[in-house]
């Protein structure tokens, strides 16, 4: 019963709220019928709408080649319940392993890109590469989120925040403060 059938469209103007806290994400890529999953922590929002996301994907990774060649991926945001899959996808290579099968994750068709969504993740952001100037020197891609999905049942998802060396911080309590802007804190 899991998956997209229970997901709703997330308005693009609300995408930043998913990524701005800095959660670990699972990046899916695909080419010629083969899909891969990579664990990613080095990402940042770059614009609200259309939502732009910058991310570093090491050139040593299978996902780097897939992303560079197809220009498409999906950023899937897992909750803490998926920690074993997050670690597993980060510690194996898609050149040798079908990670969906190995880690019990369910690929589902995206609406605007070839890469699949991961059904078990609470949010899924379909992306296209829109900026490559920093790819050669920094492995840094700028992505535009072209379609976004969310599981409306997960009101307060607990996300994973990687500190390095296998240590994850899990989001706990929430605090609310007055904000005169709906946007990025600044000044």
Residues 42 to 71 in contact with a copy of itself, rule: CB under 8 A: 42-47, 52, 54-58, 60-63
Q: Count residues contacting a copy of itself (CB under 8 A)?
A: 75
User: Nearest distance from residue 10's CB to a copy of itself, in Å?
Assistant: 13
User: Nearest distance from residue 165's CB to a copy of itself, in Å?
Assistant: 5
Question: In the structure encoding, which two tokens stand for residue 9, read together?
Answer: 């469209």
Determine which residue in the list 65, 106, 131, 154 makes contact with a copy of itself, applying CB under 8 A. 131
User: Nearest distance from residue 99's CB to a copy of itself, in Å?
Assistant: 8
Instruction: For 30-40, give one letter per residue: b (16+ CB within 10 A) or e.
Output: beeeebbbbbb
User: Nearest distance from residue 29's CB to a copy of itself, in Å?
Assistant: 11
Stretch touching a copy of itself by CB under 8 A, among 37-45, 110-118, 119-127, 146-154: 37-45
- Compose the 74-113 pattern: x for residues touching a copy of itself by CB under 8 A, - for all others: ------x--xx-xx-xxxxxx-------------------
For residues 133-162, which are near a copy of itself according to CB under 8 A?
133-134, 137-138, 140, 142, 159-162
Please check whether residue 113 is in contact with residue 146, taking contact to mean a CB–CB distance below 8 angstroms. Answer: yes
CA dihedral (83, 88, 93, 98) in degrees, to 10, reads: -100
- The dihedral through the CA atoms of 152, 157, 163, 165 has a sign that is negative
For residues 160-179, which are near a copy of itself according to CB under 8 A?
160-179
Stretch touching a copy of itself by CB under 8 A, among 35-43, 109-117, 121-129, 144-152: 35-43
Please check whether residue 60 is in contact with residue 52, taking contact to mean a CB–CB distance below 8 angstroms. Answer: no
Cβ closest to a copy of itself, residue 13 vs residue 111: 13
Cβ closest to a copy of itself, residue 111 vs residue 184: 184
């Amino acid at each position: 019963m899991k998956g997209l059938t229970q997901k709703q469209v997330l308005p693009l103007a609300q995408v930043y709220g998913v990524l701005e806290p800095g959660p670990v994400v699972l990046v899916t890529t695909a080419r010629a019928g083969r899909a891969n999953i990579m664990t990613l922590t080095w990402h940042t929002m770059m614009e609200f709408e259309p939502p732009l996301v910058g991310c570093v994907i090491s050139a040593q990774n299978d996902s780097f080649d897939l992303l560079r060649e197809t220009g498409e991926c999906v950023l899937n945001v897992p909750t803490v319940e998926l920690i074993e899959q997050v670690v597993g996808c980060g510690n194996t290579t898609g050149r040798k392993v079908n990670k969906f099968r190995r880690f019990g994750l369910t690929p589902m068709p995206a609406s605007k890109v070839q890469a699949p969504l991961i059904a078990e993740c609470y949010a899924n952001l379909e992306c296209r590469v829109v900026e490559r100037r920093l790819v050669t020197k920094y492995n840094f891609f700028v992505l535009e989120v072209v379609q976004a999905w969310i599981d409306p049942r997960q009101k307060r998802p607990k996300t994973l925040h990687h500190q390095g060396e296998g240590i994850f911080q899990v989001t706990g309590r929430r605090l609310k403060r007055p904000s005169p802007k709906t946007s990025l804190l600044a000044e």
